[in-house]
Chain A
Amino acid sequence: MVGPLEQAILALMIFVIMLGMGASLTPRDFYLALRRPYGLMIGVVSQYGFMPFIGFLLATLLTVPETIAIGILIMACMPGGTTSNIFTYFSKGNLALSVLMTVTSTVAGVVLIPIILVVYANALDLDIPRENIIVTLILLLVPVGIGMILRKFSANVGAVTEFMGSALALFFIVFLVISWIPRNWSFLLETTSATYFAAVGLGVFGISIGYAFARALKLHPRNARTVALETGIQNGPLAVAIIVFTFNGTEAQAVMAVPVLYSLFIVIVSTLVTLVFRRANTAAEQKLPDGLL
């Protein structure tokens, strides 16, 4: 597992990355996303409607032990995390909407997650660590706010911060994958294919269905990309924290399998999706003829 030092380094990295993301935003971006809350609503429905259902289907249809099934469900009920903001940024999505979706789903999760678990898991009693929720929100909102202030104060400081933040984000993505594999090598070998399928499928189906849903409701492709990533990318560390709080010993280890695997594969899946989204964005760009502009 991740030690306290690594956790601190990760938190610091996320802080700097979100500072950069914030520096790409203006208050007006948030105003626009809130003025038309349609996208935000679609996002929350997608997040807490589709994802738990996908998780439920995976947990029931796949032949997995009960502990794994619980892990799938917990993972599926999590709100979005900062990773979704980073991928939205690189996908040329609507970052302000992404941040708002993460905040909304995180706050709403306190109430919604237990209700959903009642529906799908016969009132599985989970401890949702409040401090974890608060840390998530602080790690998201404080740097984003500071980033926006930096940009307001000086467009150059903002642009440099954004550049540094996005460079660190690229490093962060590579770091997540590279540091994860050796740490969990034996675990990778022991895991059954059904568990793999659940861990990978959660992200893949979440992103696909989120995108299809948002497009079906006529969201602009930029916002649809945002909803897709926000739906499919869950707050992995929060799931891990919840499991640590709720379960003990070997049981905790088993329940944790899917969240841990998911955390690796979602980064890989999201990277591929981001490449596709970027290409789609470039293809949709207006072709300006050669000439005076």
Chain B
Amino acid sequence: MTISERPWAAYYGPDVRPEIETASCRTIGDLIRSVAETYGKAPAFTTCLYNGMNGTLSFSQVDEMSDAFAVYLREVAGLNRGDRVAVQMPNCLSYPIAAFGVLKAGCVLVNVNPLYTAEEMAKQFADAEPHALVIVDMFADKVPEATKGHPIPNVIVTRIAEFLPKMPRGIVGLVQKHWDRSVKPIEIAHIRLPEALDVGRARRNENKIEVDAYFQDVSPDDVACLQYTGGTTGVAKGAMLTHTNLIMNMQQTMEMISVFKKGEEVALTALPLYHIFAFTVNLLGFYWLGARNVLIPNPRPLSNVKRAFENYKITWMSGVNTLFNGLCNEVWFTDSPPKHLKFASAGGMALQTAVARRWQDITGKPVLQGYGLTETSPILTFNPLGKVREGTIGIPLPSTDVICVDEAGVPVAPGERGEIATKGPQIMAGYWNKPEETANVMRDGWFLTGDIGVMDPDGYISIVDRKKDMVVVSGFNVYPNEIEDCLATHPGILESAVIGVPDDVTGEAVKAFVVKRDQSLTEADIRAHCKAHLTGYKIPKRVAFRDDLPKSNVGKILRKDLRTSETTQDAAE
């Protein structure tokens, strides 16, 4: 596809380059270094807790500390280039230090959802085989069980209030230990992150280690992140995102936006950084801009975000529909909407038009919807500022080609339904150790998203359906197989099928159809069983008992039929 065949190029702003030839930096390590040299002592990251207690690290501090961590990983923990390091924590100052340290060391970052159950962690660890784990103390009690099959030799433990000034850090520690008891004793051998940094620093000084040598050794096409998305077969699969993938996607996204001023922005990061959207856009994008990034460890309840809005002049924030909708329902937010906001970005799940309008009414600034997948680092399309089309996911980013294709892979005419296929520098290198899965999603150099969309003549795209059985619950992918596997382990369940159903709050919700073996089985039993094995968002929100399930000739359960009967039932109601 040539630029002239990209009708959407006409909708880019005047300063937007339709094609970005090369990444501005070879690797993320180079990027971290060069940005830190430019912005030095300016604040880079701030953790803001619900009560306003906070801690800030400057660009130079983050640079120096992540250097020390890289040295620790390579020289003390004995990791090599390409070794995986799992990082499992909510948003806090330790995150950029750990993540940047891993990438500078030439290792591969594996983001893990901190709310995962030990079982879910074990599956991801078994696949990624990390050599080190950086985990927050609140969840470290799950590590012994999660690493039973695959021991992780190096465990580094941090905490929410790490790197905050002494007094607030002490208070938060006391409250966590004695009041809400969210920190349990840690029963595995570990080192604390600040100690690891001290050890790393000492080793660097002793042996005169050049950290730059670690990342100069890395090729731009080496894997930077193994980003897990769950899998169609119930087994997690890791998308291999290279340094180029991530840097390019960050630049492509930032290219679309001309209202940001380098070194002057303040971003609010309430979305978790372990999720690819916040990782690429909030973490890399706003670091690159020289912005101050206000990290919210836990935005539940939403009043936890109030102090961040009061104490910082937030100029941009990202979120999912649920967050924007929730904020519009908080009195403190509607009473004093952020004055300095330039706009907000939405992704992860469909942004409801009503929510977008209310947001615009309250804040006076738009919320722009984009679209992407873990496999595409993640952004593929965005609504350009000032040229928003409601209900669409916008137009493809610079250097990105998007077409809608039919079953045979032939592009359909504008306005017709087809599977969204894409090409660009942000498409992953493949799934980790899963060549067949990779082959399934790549066709003639195009990546098949599994989403069915319609592109209008101008290049604006709307999502209309999904080819895969995947359910998207408030921005998280849920694969029915995983839930069905879990249900199958309950002795009272004969068989089950899981589908996604529309939901006002989460966009889609998990619904389980269950055939009982034990007649006394209740919905509460099923939920309790799932809760013991699965993270909250995967637990079926609705359960329906059936005498049997629709099956094909060969006995395969037909989720499609269940979905159809759901929609006709909805229509009938």
Interface residues of A (CB under 8 A from B): 26, 28, 32, 151, 155-156, 158-160, 162-163, 220, 222, 285-286, 288-293
Question: How does the 8 Å CB contact mask read for B441-475 relative to A, with 1 for contact and 0 for none?
Answer: 00000000000000000000000000000000111
A289 to B506, Cβ gap below 8 A?
A: yes
* A215–B171 CA distance with the chains assembled, in angstroms: 37
B300 to A26, Cβ gap below 8 A?
A: no
- Which residue from A160, A222, A290, A293 sits with its C-beta under 8 Å from B331? A222
Taking A28-B336, A155-B311 as contacts, is the C-beta distance between A289 and B537 under 8 angstroms? yes
- Which residue from B48, B53, B311, B322 sits with its C-beta under 8 Å from A288? B322
Q: Does B303 contact A (CB under 8 A)?
A: yes
B322 to A163, Cβ gap below 8 A?
A: no
Smallest beta-carbon distance A88→chain B, Å: 15
A159-B54, A288-B302 are known; give 17 further A-B pairs, CB within 8 A: A28-B336, A151-B52, A155-B48, A156-B165, A156-B168, A159-B51, A159-B53, A160-B53, A163-B51, A163-B171, A286-B329, A289-B537, A291-B473, A291-B474, A292-B277, A292-B475, A293-B474
Instruction: Specify which chain A residues have a CB less than 8 angstroms from the CB of B323 in the assembled complex.
Output: 293
A290 to B319, Cβ gap below 8 A?
A: no
Q: How many residues of B contact A (CB 8 A)?
A: 47
- Which residue from B52, B331, B505 sits with its C-beta under 8 Å from A289? B505
Instruction: Specify which chain A residues have a CB less than 8 angstroms from the CB of B55 in the assembled complex.
Output: 156
- Which residue from B53, B165, B168, B319 sits with its C-beta under 8 Å from A293? B319
Looking at A26, A151, A158, A292, the one whose CB has the most chain B CB atoms below 10 A away is A292
Instruction: Specify which chain B residues have a CB less than 8 angstroms from the CB of A159 in the assembled complex.
Output: 49, 51-54, 168, 307
* A155–B505 CA distance with the chains assembled, in angstroms: 34
* A28–B332 CA distance with the chains assembled, in angstroms: 11
- Which residue from B168, B322, B336 sits with its C-beta under 8 Å from A160? B168
Instruction: Specify which chain A residues have a CB less than 8 angstroms from the CB of B14 in the assembled complex.
Output: none
A26 to B310, Cβ gap below 8 A?
A: yes
Smallest beta-carbon distance B53→chain A, Å: 4
Q: Does B299 contact A (CB under 8 A)?
A: yes
Q: Does B133 contact A (CB under 8 A)?
A: no
* A97–B263 CA distance with the chains assembled, in angstroms: 38
Smallest beta-carbon distance B546→chain A, Å: 25
Instruction: Specify which chain B residues have a CB less than 8 angstroms from the CB of A291 in the assembled complex.
Output: 320, 322, 349, 473-476, 506, 537
Taking A155-B52, A156-B54, A285-B303 as contacts, is the C-beta distance between A293 and B271 under 8 angstroms? yes
B330 to A286, Cβ gap below 8 A?
A: yes
* A291–B48 CA distance with the chains assembled, in angstroms: 21
B51 to A288, Cβ gap below 8 A?
A: no
Give 15 pairs: A residue, B residue, CB < 8 Å, sorted on A.
A26-B310, A28-B336, A155-B53, A155-B54, A155-B311, A162-B51, A222-B331, A286-B326, A290-B473, A290-B535, A291-B474, A291-B506, A292-B271, A292-B275, A292-B320
Smallest beta-carbon distance A148→chain B, Å: 12
Instruction: Specify which chain B residues have a CB less than 8 angstroms from the CB of A285 in the assembled complex.
Output: 301-303
* A158–B55 CA distance with the chains assembled, in angstroms: 13
Smallest beta-carbon distance B196→chain A, Å: 25
